[in-house]
């Protein structure tokens, strides 16, 4: 193990790692296609070989994490993302020709994708492999050197990420820096050429302040309260089944999980019944169910229970879905799927991102009420729209703003490599995944090439009557 990974918490080691990478980048500022492919192949192989180790590490970090969810949401989607980048990298790297306006002919224009240099990635705990290695792969594909600071909440997984980096890469290609808050703070203060942060809005503000000292460009992937709108034209069973899936995967600890749902008042009780049916079908037992994931920490577990109790004390109806009536030990940190019916909008469950298996369900008389509710709140990372009617779909797409949208589905837009993934406003800035990630981690350098014979001599002093006439002709051509 190299010196950088042996002493990850030291500011000096962080700085040493950064400047090692900066010098390596200057020595090879535009890595060839095969070099980038080789790095991506090593990343792919390192992850594939450690699938079982990552599965066990993530489960230990969570207390219990569904191996099926880890296989699909952390491993498979990451492998698919890396493979997609390998397949398409040659096309993304090509010079992109652009047309020129008539008055600049015979000049030529092009865009040259150029590596930025050293990219920093700060990743969260909820999908500690996917949300770490997906942006790392994007930055590597773009030809950069990459430093990763994974979450301190998943220390065993972070250690495995560090092992992968140290065994598959040179320290000036890709390195992982473990540590807590102080390491994260020092990491965000490095003069990266680009920094991507995924996490909470509160921490994002601190990261932004640190990055601003160096004018470091940022991509912020945050979250917020992602609504699900069940329109009058929706298939109610389909909507309930998909919303249950999206809310209970990873026990709701997903930044794009449905955070609250609106359903037509006349169908409210039918929908509540369907939510319970599909929840019980998905998780008929909770205590010894290896596929029902624990809450990551005691602090998060306490916060979620506090949300439920606050709503109960306020008079909201609470439905705890516990099919076997099991007594759940607090040490297991498992919270039953919980519905909170028509909560007061001032409650914390309606003000804060939930990040757990709790679903507030609200009703509307007319769909305009739901649209207005969404419009007057911070722009979410995702919006889920359920309808079989094109008119309803197009209206809501037109009248709401969100980072991304899935129609008659949940979550899947995030793992569609051909779509950019990112937030807007309070839910983040910038995007990545697929070519969007390659472009985010590149400088798309505009280049104008003037041939030897051109018309610019008509525009330089001394100004003659002929040049004035030529300028007037130019004006008409613009």
Same domain, 254 and 386: yes
Q: Is residue 336 part of a domain?
A: yes
Tokens read off for 297: 């920490």
Residue 475 lies in a domain: no
Does residue 464 sit in helix, strand or coil? coil
* pLDDT-based confidence at residue 453 (cuts at 50, 70, 90): confident
pLDDT at 430: 96
Q: What per-residue confidence (pLDDT) applies to 407?
A: 98
For residue 124, give the DSSP letter: -
For residues 441 and 433, give the distance between their C-alpha atoms in angstroms, rounded to a whole number: 11
Dihedral pair phi/psi, residue 462, rounded to 5°? -75, 150
Same domain, 310 and 161: no
168 pLDDT exceeds 90?
Answer: yes
Count the domains in the chain.
2
Cβ–Cβ < 8 Å for 122, 196: yes
Q: Describe the crossing of helices 367-375 and 390-399 by its angle, rounded to 10 degrees.
A: 20
Helices (H) and strands (E) in the chain, counts: 18, 18
Helical (H) or strand (E) element with 228: strand 227-230
Q: How far apart are CA 356 and CA 241, in angstroms?
A: 18
Among 69, 178, 189, 221, the active-site one is 221
Q: Is the pLDDT of residue 6 over 60?
A: no
Beta-ladder partners of 175: 147
Are 91 and 29 in the same domain?
Answer: yes
Q: H or E stretch including 60?
A: helix 51-62
Q: Which percentage of the chain shows pLDDT scores above 90?
A: 90
Q: How far apart are CA 359 and CA 307, in angstroms?
A: 11
**pLDDT of the residue at 459:** 79
Shared domain check, 437 and 345? no
Distances (CA, A) of 428 to 355, 403, 411: 17, 8, 17
Answer whether residue 80 is part of any domain.
Answer: yes
Q: pLDDT value at position 61?
A: 97
Which of 1-10, 79-88, 124-133 bottoms out in mean pLDDT, i.e. has the lowest?
1-10
Position 470 scores a pLDDT of: 84
pLDDT of residue 383: 98
pLDDT at 104: 86
d(CA 15, CA 123): 19
As a whole-number percent, the residues of the chain with pLDDT over 70 amount to 98
Task: Please tell me whether residues 200 and 183 are part of one structural domain.
Answer: yes
Q: What CA–CA distance (Å, rounded) separates 135 from 409?
A: 24
- Alpha carbon 136 to its chain centroid, in Å, reads 12
Residue 464 domain-assigned? no
> Each residue of 98-132: pLDDT tens digit?
999 888 889 999 999 999 999 999 999 999 999 99
The answer for residues whose C-beta is within 8 angstroms of residue 207's C-beta and 6 or more apart is 122, 188, 195, 197, 218, 220
- List of E strands, 270-409: 317-320, 338-341, 358-364, 382-386, 404-407
202 in a structural domain: yes
pLDDT at 245: 97
pLDDT tens digit sequence for 313-326? 999 999 999 999 99
Out of 255, 353, 414, 417, pick the active-site residue.
Answer: 255
pLDDT 10s digits, 362-405: 999 999 999 999 999 999 999 999 999 999 999 999 999 999 99
C-beta separation of 247 from 359 below 8 A: yes
Q: Which of 448-476 are b and which e, b meaning 16 or more Cβ less than 10 Å from the residue's Cβ?
A: eeeeeeeeeebeeeeeeeeeeeeeeeeee
User: Which of 261, 272, 234, 262 has its CA nearest to residue 365?
Assistant: 262
CA angle 224, 285, 67 (to 5 degrees): 65
Residues whose CB falls within 8 Å of the CB of residue 32, separated by 6 or more in sequence, listed in order: none
Nearest to 382 by CA among 357, 361, 356, 353: 353
Asked whether residue 106 falls in the same domain as residue 201, the answer is: yes
Q: Is residue 255 flagged as an active site residue?
A: yes
Q: Taking 60 as the threshold, does the pLDDT of residue 164 lie above it?
A: yes
Q: Could you tell me the pLDDT band of residue 454, with boundaries at 50, 70 and 90?
A: confident
Q: Is the dihedral of CA 150, 153, 157, 162 positive or negative?
A: positive
Confidence bin at 1 (pLDDT 50/70/90): very low
Sheet of 227-230: strands edge to edge?
A: 317-320, 338-341, 358-364, 260-264, 227-230, 382-386, 404-407
What is the pLDDT at residue 474? 79
Pick from 153, 148, 152: nearest CA to 163: 148
Q: Can you tell me the distance from the alpha carbon of 208 to that of 224, in angstroms, rounded to the nearest whole number?
A: 17
Q: What is the mean pLDDT of residues 327-350?
A: 96
Q: Are 82 and 45 in contact (CB under 8 A)?
A: no
**Are residues 137 and 202 located together in one domain of the fold?**
yes
Q: What is the CATH number of the domain that holds 304?
A: 3.40.309.10
Please report, for residues 1, 155, 455, the alpha-carbon distance to residue 168 in angstroms, rounded to integers and kept in the order given: 11, 20, 54
CATH number for the domain harbouring residue 127:
3.40.605.10
Domain coverage including residue 169: 3-222+430-444
For β-strands 442-449 and 317-320, DSSP reports them as unpaired
How confident is residue 4, by pLDDT bands cut at 50, 70 and 90? Answer: very low
Evaluate whether residue 453 is within a structural domain. Answer: no
pLDDT the model gives residue 443: 98
pLDDT of residue 5: 42
**Banded model confidence at residue 9, pLDDT cuts 50, 70, 90:** very low
Residues 35 and 166 in one domain: yes
Mean pLDDT of 209-214: 95
Q: Say if residues 117 and 193 touch (Cβ distance below 8 Å).
A: yes
Give the pLDDT confidence of 51-77 residue by residue, as tens digits: 999 999 999 999 999 999 999 999 999
C-alpha 157/C-alpha 134 separation (Å) is 15
Cβ atoms 248, 279 nearer than 8 A: yes
**Which residues, other chains included, contact 366 with Cβ-Cβ below 8 Å and sequence gap of 6+?**
none
Q: If you average pLDDT over every residue of the chain, what do you get?
A: 95
| Helix, strand, or coil (residue 189) | coil
CA dihedral 157, 420, 397, 360 (to 10 degrees): 10
| Shared-domain flag, residues 193 and 248 | no
Q: Please tell me whether residues 397 and 347 are part of one structural domain.
A: yes
Q: 297: Cβ–Cβ under 8 A, 6 or more apart, which residues?
A: 153, 333
| Residue 460 maps to a domain | no
User: 207 lies in a domain?
Assistant: yes
> Do 411 and 334 lie in a common domain?
yes
Answer yes or no: 221 catalytic: yes
Residue 109: is it exposed, middle or buried by C-beta count within 10 angstroms (0-12/13-18/19+)?
Answer: middle
Q: What is the pLDDT of residues 217-233, one digit of tens each?
A: 999 999 899 999 999 99
Residue 191's pLDDT is: 97
**Do residues 216 and 233 both lie within one domain?**
no
Q: Average pLDDT, stretch 308-317?
A: 97
């Amino acid at each position: 193990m190299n010196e950088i990974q042996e002493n990850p918490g030291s500011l000096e080691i962080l700085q040493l790692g950064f400047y090692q990478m900066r010098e390596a980048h200057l020595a090879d500022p535009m890595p060839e296609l095969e070099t980038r492919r080789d790095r991506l192949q090593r990343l792919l192989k390192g992850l594939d070989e450690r699938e079982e180790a990552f599965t066990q590490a993530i489960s230990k970090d969570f207390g219990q994490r569904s191996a099926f969810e880890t296989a699909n949401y952390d491993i498979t989607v990451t492998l698919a993302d890396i493979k997609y980048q390998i397949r398409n990298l040659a096309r993304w790297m090509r010079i992109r020709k652009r047309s020129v306006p008539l008055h600049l002919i015979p000049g030529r224009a092009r865009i040259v994708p150029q590596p930025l240099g050293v990219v920093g990635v700060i990743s969260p705990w909820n999908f500690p492999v996917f949300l770490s290695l997906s942006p790392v792969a994007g930055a590597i594909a773009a030809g950069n050197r990459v430093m990763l600071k994974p979450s301190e909440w998943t220390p065993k997984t972070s250690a495995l990420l560090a092992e992968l980096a140290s065994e598959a890469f040179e320290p000036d290609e890709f390195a992982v820096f473990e540590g807590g808050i102080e390491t994260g703070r020092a990491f965000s203060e490095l003069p990266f050429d680009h920094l991507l942060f995924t996490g909470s809005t509160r921490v994002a503000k601190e990261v932004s302040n640190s990055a601003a000292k160096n004018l470091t460009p940022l991509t912020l992937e945050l979250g917020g309260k992602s609504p699900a709108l069940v329109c009058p034209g929706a298939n109610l069973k389909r909507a309930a089944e998909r919303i249950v899936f999206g809310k209970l995967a990873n026990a709701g600890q997903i930044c794009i999980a449905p955070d609250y749902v609106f359903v037509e008042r006349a169908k409210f009780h039918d929908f509540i019944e369907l939510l319970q049916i599909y929840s019980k079908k998905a998780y008929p037992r909770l205590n010894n169910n290896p596929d029902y994931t624990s809450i990551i920490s005691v602090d998060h577990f306490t916060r979620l229970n506090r949300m439920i109790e606050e709503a109960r004390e306020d008079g909201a109806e609470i439905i705890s879905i516990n099919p076997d009536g099991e007594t759940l030990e607090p040490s297991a940190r498992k919270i039953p799927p919980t519905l909170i019916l028509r909560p007061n909008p001032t409650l914390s469950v309606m003000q804060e991102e939930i990040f757990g298996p709790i679903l507030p369900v609200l009703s509307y008389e007319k769909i305009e009420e739901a649209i207005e509710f969404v419009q007057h709140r911070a722009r979410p990372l995702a919006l889920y729209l359920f309808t079989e009617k094109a008119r309803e779909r197009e209206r809501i797409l037109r009248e709401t703003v969100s980072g991304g949208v899935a129609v008659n589905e949940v979550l899947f837009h995030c793992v569609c490599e051909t779509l950019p993934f990112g937030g807007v406003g309070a839910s983040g800035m910038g995007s990545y995944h697929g070519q969007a990630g390659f472009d985010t981690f590149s400088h798309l350098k505009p280049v104008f090439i003037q041939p030897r014979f051109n018309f610019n001599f008509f525009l330089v002093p001394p100004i003659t009557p002929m040049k004035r006439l030529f300028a007037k002709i130019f004006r008409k051509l613009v």
